[in-house]
Structure formats: C-alpha cells, structure tokens
Amino acid sequence: MSVTETVSVAVDAPLFDNLTYKQNENFSVKRGDIVHVSLGNRSVLGVVVKQNTEPAEQNPKFDLKPVKSLHEELMSLPEQHLKWLEWMADYYMHPLGQVVQLCFPPLDKTKKERKSSRPSVTPFVEKKIQHQLNSEQQAAVDSIYSQKGFSTHLLHGVTGSGKTEIYLELFEKVLGEGKRGIFLLPEISLTPQLIHRFSGRFGDQIAVLHSQLTDRERTNQWWDMVEGRKKILIGARSALFCPIDNIGLIVVDEEHESSFKQDETLKYNGRDSAIMLGHFNQCPIVLGSATPSLESWKNAQDKKFVLHQIKNRVHNRPLPEIQVVDMRLEKDAEKQSLEKPNWLSEKLYTEIKISLANQEQVALLLNRRGMAQTVFCPSCGHTAECPNCDISLTLHANTHLVCHYCDYHQNFKVKCPDCREGELVNLGLGTEKVEEDLKRLFPEKVIARADRDEVTSRVDMEELVHKMEKSEIDILIGTQMIAKGLDFSNLKLVGLLLADISFNLPDFRATEKSFQLITQMSGRSGRHVKDNESAGRVVIQTYNTEHESIQYSRNHDYEGFVETELVNRKQLNYPPFHKLSSIRIQAPDLDKVKLAADQLSQRAYGIKEKFPIFESVEILGPAAAPIAKLRNQFRYHLLLKSAQPKALNHFIQKLLGDSKWIPKQVKVVVDIDPLNLL
C-alpha cells in the first residue's frame, strides 16, 4: 500500500459526513479553501475543513480521488467564519457543505453587468451633520463601547427613542478603529429609510444585501464587502453569510421579529446566529427593540445580556394616546351611520376625518390581504377551499380566489359550485376591501395600500416610502409590513382595524406577537410632534378589550406584559425557560405520514427510556399539524422540550439516526427553536 496526503472536504450535497480526497500533486490546499472535487461522475464545490496530519494508506480496492482545483475567484474563508459555519451546521442539523454554499455570491465576478434602469442600491447622499445625543442615548453608547471583545447588549427603547442614532454613533466609533460592521434588519421594507440615514452619515461606505436585489447587484455588493471597499453591510438575515473579516460590531434591529427565522431548508434564526458570529469574531452584538422577545428579555434578566433602557422619546416627545374601541358595542349603537362600512367604528371614522381636515396622514393596519377572508354559500354551507392546502381561499378584486400559501388561483363565480342554487357571499375583511371602502368615503384623498399584492419589489417599497415622506399619501392601509421601524413625520393617527386576528392562533407565542404588533404599529404615530402640538393618536378596534396584549399595550407597559407572560410560559415549560424543537413528518400519502409519525414516536420514547441522560426531554405528540395539509403534503409533527439544549440536540440526532427507518416519499424536517408551529 502507498501512503498519500489527504484532506477532509465538506461538499455541496446532503451529506453530514465530510469526504476524504488526496492532495493534488500540482498544488496543496488548506483549511478554509474553496475547491472543486469529484462526487460520483459530477464536479461539486466544497470547503476544506481539515488537512489530515497522518498520511493515509491508499487501499488498492478504493482509489481516493484528488482535489480537482481551487476555485478560480473565491478566496479562502476566514477561520472565524468557518468556525461559525461549523457551529451553524451542528446546531441546526444541516450538512456543512450545503451551509457553506450560502456564503457565495450568485454570479461570477467576471461577468459584465447589464445596464439597468433600476435605482442604485446605495445612492450617494450628501453627508449630514450628526445629531447631538441626549443623556440616555449617550449613556447607552458609552456603556456598550466600553466593553471590549464579545458581549451581547439588549437595547430596549420605546418607539421613537432614537435607537438608530445610537447604532450610527457606535458604527462611527468602530470604523474609527479601522474595523467594519454588520447591520441586520428583519424586512426589506425598512431599508429605504435606513440606507438614507446610514448614507447620510457614512457616504458611500455602505453595502446592501437582501433578496430583492438582482443577482448582479448582490454579487457586486458581496465583492465590495469581501474585498474591503465598503465598511458597513446592511441586510436581511442572509447578509450574515458574507465572509467578512475584521468585524467590530453587529447590530440586529427589531430583534424580536419572526422574519429573522428562516423557515425553509436551513432553518436558522438570524438573531441567534448573529450572536454566535459575534462570539467567533470577538466583537459586541447589539439587539434593539421597543418590544424585545421574551427570550432576549430573560437573557438580560439572567445577566447573560447587558440591558440598556431608553424610556423617553427624543426631545421628550409624548408617546401616542391609545384608545380602545369595543366593536361588540358598535353593532348595538342606536344611531348607525348609513355611509360608513360596518368594519369602521364611529370613533375611528371621526378621528380620520379630523386628521384629514388638519392635513395629517393616517395609517391603518389590517394584517390580512384581499377583499375577504373567505367566501361561503348560505344555502348549503360550502366554503371555497384550496385543493392543495387545508386553508380557505381568499377573495381578491372580486374576480379571483387565491391561496396565500401555495398561490393556487381560481376564478370567482357567484353561483355556488356545490349546490348550484345559492350565491357565494363574502366573509371577513381584507386590505383590498378596506381600500375600496375608503375610496368611496374619501374620493378626493390619495389612498395607498401596502401588502404583498401591491408591494412586490424594492422599487415599489422605495416609491411608497418616498410618497409618505413627501405627504403625497393621505391614508396608508397595510399589513404588518408598515408596522416596523418606519418613520413618517406627518403621520399623526394610527388605526388597528382587527386587533384580534392573531389572538387565538394555535401558537404559544400568539399573545406575545399580538402585543408586539400592536405596540410597534402604535409607535408609528406622532413621532415628530412639536412642543405646541398634541400627542399622536391610536385607535384599536377589537372584539376582546380585556385581552392581555390590548391592556398592556394601551398603557405602554412592556415590563408589565413580559412579567405576566413569563409566568404563563414557565408553568408550561415553554421558551424561554425550556428549549423547543419540532420534527415535522410530511408526504402526499396520509397513511404513510401517520405510520412514520407513530414510528418516530415509538423511537423517541424508546430512546428516552434507554438513556437516563435524556430524562429531561419532554415529548409531545405526534399530532396533525394545525395546517394539516399544505402544498399537497399531509403534515404531522412531534414537539420536544428540554431545559438542556445540548441534551435536546443530542436526543434528536439519536432519534433520526441513519434515516434508514424513514419510509419512501416521507420527508422528516427538523426545526430547532421553531417560531412557526402552524
């Protein structure tokens, strides 16, 4: 047997084990190098994770293949970035070779860029004079900056308290040290105003990465960061994968947002992953929010995070006045207005008319798209449902029915397709219906709608934000995309039309998410009132006035809310007290799903009984998922809880084993720290 030098490579394939290759005779590769290797009869990308110190004995029966080549453009991954990727693969149970692929730009560097009529990703803005920080802001900056190395900071500031100015000041200091930074936000809807703010402070040192950019734009921005031409990377969760060195600060704005969780393929949490990236880069992490997640708040209470609180708006501007309208009483009111629709209370209608008369802007939140939630036949009870999903179809434009999960479409016909006698009627309310009614009520006013039907690109969002800033829109109707971080100086009235929508979802976080949405949306009102002006106004329409999320948000009482909610979570062993993981079993055949779910459950209880180290693991299910069928896949799930995260991950690894037990056509999906249990 001959002796040869080898390397271990994580390849772009669904393999959890690294593969061994010979060093090429013409060149050698080291840990972190991006290489081309043979896999079967095809060539794939991989990353070298280990140079094997002991030469391998070559077995004549099994001929090791050599590394084919180094990648022509991509440089070696920084050591701290590769360590982070290895952590990601291990914690979220995803093949390392596939995780690494997320680090690369979509196109070759050498391809020529086509001329585009789209606006620049980071338009040059003339540098502005920085704001003078107030005492609360300055105290937060000084405290965060004084702690060198890795530390996690929770910046809890009321809406309009100037958290962005704190971020800008911190980045200024970091850049002054010759280091670079990453700024994460939950949705691209927030980028137009933020890019403007950052460019005004840092000129053309900003790069941007998110899904709404073209492949060429993303590629160019990626190289601008990797080669050091730009200093601050602004982006959605995927921006974390850009292999930047010399990181001095990572900021996660609106850290509570569920948009930071990736629900497909690698199911990672951008906030938690950012903390670990800071750990490997030995730099501070700042998590900012007016409504921090219970997980982050608990970490701050346990001194794992450093808490910084800003309790006042800038210039001591007042928080908005919040009024709650009981919609149950509206239908019993003696005097019903003939002109207004039944979804609109007399109180909110009056406030809208006052705001418009004062030439102030109005924003209305309804977290449901379309004309109506569903349509049904009063004669036979038939409801229009998606043939692919266990979901009602939503009526759009009074012409077609749409599934918001799989995008199934069908034409809307008034005559019932089931009994062929009755006529289908609308049930529920959507943003499209609200827009139609308001145009009838206020025909002379400019009314705009912001939902995923109207805002389909970054250009649409940029135009909408620009028009709002210029007061060219009188009434803005939107889903939750308008509730986060946006700042409009002339917006004085906010209305929440159906605050109850998410109260009763089968999700233990439903109350927390409702409180956050109500508080965040309320915080868009009156952010720039002057000394001689009254506070902004908020009207919350609800059928459940006593709900915790309503009661605490109307009093701007975040701490009271979390104190109550933490008691509930602790009693049920839910996060943040226990770690949670879900295992979903899905297939087109319901019988196969049930069989696999039963097998999985038996394995789980068998492992727990056999190994005492798994005593802390609690097993719930299996049971049909709340959405039992989605995109023609039947779905069951098993929930696992434990106070010991490492034991829980180890348990899942043992539970799934070599996957040989999983029947054909059945897919088993693991979600560590799930945020969506539907």
- pLDDT at res. 238: 93
- pLDDT at res. 2: 53
Among 387, 311, 373, 308, which residue's Cα sits nearest to residue 343?
373
How many Å apart are CA 28 and CA 42, to the nearest integer?
22
Least confident of 339-343, 459-463, 481-485: 481-485
Higher pLDDT, residue 84 or 544: 84
How many Å apart are CA 407 and CA 384, to the nearest integer?
14
- pLDDT at res. 336: 55
Per-residue 3-state assignment (H helix, E strand, C coil) for 119-149: CCCCCCCCCCCCCCCCHHHHHHHHHHHHCCC
With the CA atoms of 576, 258, 485 and 475 taken in that order, what torsion angle do they form, in degrees rounded to the nearest 10?
Answer: -130
Average pLDDT value for residue range 259-279: 95
CATH of domain 579-672: 3.30.70.600
Average pLDDT value for residue range 424-435: 81
- pLDDT at res. 403: 84
- Give DSSP secondary structure letters for 287-325: EEESS--HHHHHHHHTTSSEEEEE-S-GGGPPPPEEEEE
How many Å apart are CA 71 and CA 9, to the nearest integer?
14
Least confident of 368-377, 652-661, 669-678: 368-377
**Helix or strand run (H / E) with residue 637:** strand 633-642
Question: For residue 114, what pLDDT band results from cuts at 50, 70 and 90?
Answer: low
Write the CB contacts of 300 (distance below 8 Å, at least 6 apart in sequence). 154, 156, 292, 306, 307
- Whether 476 and 209 have beta carbons less than 8 Å apart is answered as no
Question: For residue 234, what pLDDT band results from cuts at 50, 70 and 90?
Answer: very high
CATH of domain 135-315: 3.40.50.300
Question: Quick one: what percent of the chain has pLDDT higher than 70?
Answer: 93
pLDDT tens profile 449-473: 988 777 777 788 888 888 988 999 9
* pLDDT greater than 70 at residue 128: no
Q: Which residue has the tokens 């390397």?
A: 7
* pLDDT greater than 90 at residue 69: yes
Domain 317-368+430-569 sits in CATH 3.90.420.10: no
Higher pLDDT, residue 127 or 526: 526
| Helices (H) then strands (E): counts for the chain | 17, 29
Neighbours of 518 (CB within 10 A): 26
Q: Where in the chain is the domain with CATH 3.40.50.300?
A: 135-315, 317-368+430-569
Question: For residue 400, what pLDDT band results from cuts at 50, 70 and 90?
Answer: confident
Question: For residue 427, what pLDDT band results from cuts at 50, 70 and 90?
Answer: confident
* pLDDT greater than 50 at residue 334: no
Q: Which pairs with CB-CB distance under 8 Å and at least 24 residues apart come from 15-19? A: 15/95, 15/97, 16/95, 16/96, 18/49, 18/50, 18/96, 18/97, 19/46
How many Å apart are CA 468 and CA 462, to the nearest integer?
10
* pLDDT greater than 50 at residue 572: yes
- pLDDT at res. 342: 86
* pLDDT greater than 90 at residue 426: no
| Residue 105 tokens, joined | 């730009």
Question: For residue 532, what pLDDT band results from cuts at 50, 70 and 90?
Answer: confident
Question: For residue 122, what pLDDT band results from cuts at 50, 70 and 90?
Answer: low
* pLDDT greater than 90 at residue 275: yes
- pLDDT at res. 126: 59
- Whether 133 and 169 have beta carbons less than 8 Å apart is answered as yes
Average pLDDT value for residue range 318-345: 80
* pLDDT greater than 90 at residue 347: yes
pLDDT tens profile 380-393: 777 888 888 888 88
- pLDDT at res. 1: 41
Among 327, 356, 355, 332, which residue's Cα sits nearest to residue 343?
327
Buried-state track 608-634, b at ≥16 Cβ within 10 A, e below 16: beeeeebebbebebbebbeebbbeebb
- pLDDT at res. 140: 95
Rounded (5°) CA angle 550-553-558: 130
Question: Quick one: what percent of the chain has pLDDT higher than 90?
Answer: 62
Question: For residue 58, what pLDDT band results from cuts at 50, 70 and 90?
Answer: low
Q: Where in the chain is the domain with CATH 3.30.70.600?
A: 579-672
- pLDDT at res. 335: 53
| Residue 45 tokens, joined | 């990308």
CATH class of the domain whose range is 3-103:
alpha beta
Average pLDDT value for residue range 201-210: 92
Predicted TM-score of the model (pTM): 0.92
* pLDDT greater than 70 at residue 109: yes
- pLDDT at res. 372: 58
The beta strand positions in 425-578, using DSSP E, are 425-427, 447-450, 475-478, 491-496, 537-542
Mean pLDDT of the chain: 88
Q: Where in the chain is the domain with CATH 3.40.1440.60?
A: 3-103
- Give DSSP secondary structure letters for 411-452: E--SB-TTTSSSB-EEES--HHHHHHHHHHH-TTS-EEEEST
